[in-house]
Chain A
Amino acid sequence: MNASVSKSTGRSAAPRAVKLRLANVSKTFQNGTQTVEALAPLELEVKEGEYVVFFGPSGCGKSTLLNLIAGFEAPSAGEITLEGRPITRPGRDRLMMFQEHALFPWLSVIKNVMYGLKNEPQFRFRPRKQREAARSWLKMVHLEEFESALIHELSGGMKQRVALARALAPDPKVLLIDEPFPALDALVRGKLYGDLQDILTRTGKTIISVTHDSREAACLGDRVVVFTPRPGRIKKEIHVDLARPRDINDPKVAEYAGRIMAELEGQPDEKRAG
């Protein structure tokens, strides 16, 4: 593997500050008499401008972890800090993109993108400025012609691109993406990966996304965190040192995908037994 050789081609040239820190974080759900341990205590650091992918078997607690970071739920133990400050509730500094698009049908495309800007100090009560900013984000996802369309008039892929523009517009410190692409066909997904990497290199956003698809993980992630089955622990972290933009069909991406997949499949019970 030539992973260490091509280090300079990744985005990790200079040492970067830690953006998000998870210290000893675990989550146990209590449903009546039944307790479900979703996440075993885990440590994780995400650096400024890093793209981290959570990869693991279904039900291992990936969405749970994302919900904890987003602030929808509180960890049972441990602490999550963003730039040193503990997370207590949802906020637009940690915007979440959901598996379904979650766009508001009562608003047009551009009004959806403007939605998060209304709470931004520099945009508050300035509809013209909001509209201009929203327009430029729509341009970035190639949907500027659809600004006055209604949500249900768009295709699935277009909806996800609007959702991406809406999530990026308020300039979150961390963007959290929970499997937003599985419902789309390969061609549309390929384009979305392109858009996403394009935005990534342009804005230097810190992103965490969840996926079931090892190729998607290898294509998008600077680092892929592989989880064990429930209760989820970090089994392995794989650094993907490939230049961007990466093509989903690139054999090098496929090679990394193979390693990621092997990590997931290899001796699934070894950690649980230990």
Chain B
Amino acid sequence: MKSEQAKRPFLYVSFFYLLIFAVWQMLFSAGLIPDYLFPSPVQVGKRLWELGSDDYLLPSVKATLVRMAMGFSIAAAIGLGIGLLMGTSPIMNSCLKSLFLGLQTLPTAAWVPISLLLFGLSEQGIYFVIIMSSTPAVAIATSAGILHIPPLYLRAARTLGTRWYAMPVRVILPAALPAIMTGLKLGWTFGWHGAVSAELIKSTVGLGFLLNMGREMNDASQVIGIMLVTILFGLLLDRFLFGVIERRIRIRWGLEKKE
């Protein structure tokens, strides 16, 4: 059954999205809801086109992506470091595990008020939200990945003369890499949520800013349009950057088969 569908996924998926847009257009044409609240796909597309040609859209996409790239890199480095500590020290793990699990359950938007208090309306505040949103996921996945390393690998490394200080780079992180990659992917998603939430309030450029601007102007077309753009970029990065890297790692580690 699965192989049947896997043969022409592109066709099915295109058809699925066409269907969604068709239903959307039909609902709009039925005129149940006034069009300033419920715009048609065409209106949304037109608004996005205007935003693009007025030089609003691209700088904002770029701004959000650049913030994410920087904030997420910092979060990944911190998360990896803390995860490594947790994974290798049982004491650290029992202390930090509940803390980070707790932080991970906190909705990312909940970091915005405290970042406003700490950093005001500055850029740093957005980075703060991104970092706080994605670090826990990376740390938890890293520590879990390390704790699940087959002890055999560690023993093999020790019998081959690997000293304790060389273990993280030569064995522990490589052995946990599939789990770490899953954590990075999740951390990116949380960071992306955090970035857009923070931009709603704190920014003069960015996808969150355009969303909020649309709300202030009562422009449902802009709000929906920017939501679609945000989804699109989130999906592209998840599938075609993190997804591809994750898959390649899993194939190399023998956890997944090449199709």
> Is B truly associated with A?
yes
Does residue A200 face the partner (Cβ distance < 8 Å to B)? no
- Give the CA-CA distance A170 to B159 in the complex, in Å: 11
Min CB distance B191 to A, Å, is 26
Given the known interface contacts A105-B254, A150-B252, A150-B254, the answer about A119 and B161 at a Cβ–Cβ threshold of 8 Å is: yes
Given the known interface contacts A92-B161, A116-B160, the answer about A102 and B155 at a Cβ–Cβ threshold of 8 Å is: yes
Interface residues of A in 113-139 (CB under 8 A from B): 115-116, 119-120
Which interface class (under 10, 10 to 19, 20 to 34, 35 or more) fits A?
A: 20 to 34
Does residue A194 face the partner (Cβ distance < 8 Å to B)? no
Contact between chains at B177 and A106 (CB < 8 Å): yes
Does residue A224 face the partner (Cβ distance < 8 Å to B)? no
Min CB distance A18 to B, Å, is 22
Instruction: Return the contact of A170 from the options B157, B160, B175 (Cβ within 8 A).
Output: B160
- Give the CA-CA distance A120 to B160 in the complex, in Å: 10
Does residue B204 face the partner (Cβ distance < 8 Å to A)? no
- Judged by DSSP, the binding face of B is helix
Min CB distance A111 to B, Å, is 11
Instruction: Return the contact of B253 from the options A90, A105, A119 (Cβ within 8 A).
Output: A105
- Give the CA-CA distance A263 to B229 in the complex, in Å: 78
Contact between chains at B175 and A116 (CB < 8 Å): no
* Chain B residue at smallest Cβ distance from A102: B156
Q: Which residues of B contact A120 (CB under 8 A)?
A: 161
Contact between chains at A92 and B177 (CB < 8 Å): no
Q: Which residues of A contact B253 (CB under 8 A)?
A: 105-106, 152
* Chain A residue at smallest Cβ distance from B158: A90
Does residue A100 face the partner (Cβ distance < 8 Å to B)? yes
Does residue A39 face the partner (Cβ distance < 8 Å to B)? no
Q: Which residues of B contact A152 (CB under 8 A)?
A: 253-254
Interface residues of A in 85-120 (CB under 8 A from B): 89-92, 94-96, 98, 100, 102-107, 115-116, 119-120
Does residue A192 face the partner (Cβ distance < 8 Å to B)? no
Contact between chains at B159 and A95 (CB < 8 Å): yes
Q: Which residues of A contact B252 (CB under 8 A)?
A: 105-106, 150
Interface residues of B in 127-178 (CB under 8 A from A): 152-153, 155-163, 170-171, 174-175, 177
Contact between chains at A151 and B254 (CB < 8 Å): yes
- Give the CA-CA distance A170 to B177 in the complex, in Å: 27
Min CB distance A200 to B, Å, is 20
Min CB distance B171 to A, Å, is 7
Q: C-beta contact mask, A140-166 vs B, less than 8 Å → 1, else 0?
A: 000000000011100000000000001
B residues contacting the other copy or chain, number (CB 8 A):
19
Instruction: Return the contact of A91 from the options B155, B161, B175 (Cβ within 8 A).
Output: B161
Q: Which residues of B contact A92 (CB under 8 A)?
A: 159-161
Q: Which residues of A contact B254 (CB under 8 A)?
A: 105, 150-152
Contact between chains at B162 and A119 (CB < 8 Å): yes
- Residues of A participating in the B interface, judged by any CB pair closer than 8 Å: 70, 72, 89-92, 94-96, 98, 100, 102-107, 115-116, 119-120, 150-152, 166, 170
The 7 closest A-B pairs by CB, nearest first: A152-B254, A92-B161, A102-B156, A116-B160, A119-B161, A90-B158, A106-B174
Q: A98-B156, A120-B161 are in contact. List 16 more A-B contacts (CB 8 A).
A: A70-B159, A72-B155, A90-B155, A92-B159, A96-B159, A102-B156, A105-B253, A106-B177, A107-B174, A119-B162, A119-B163, A150-B252, A152-B253, A152-B254, A166-B160, A170-B161
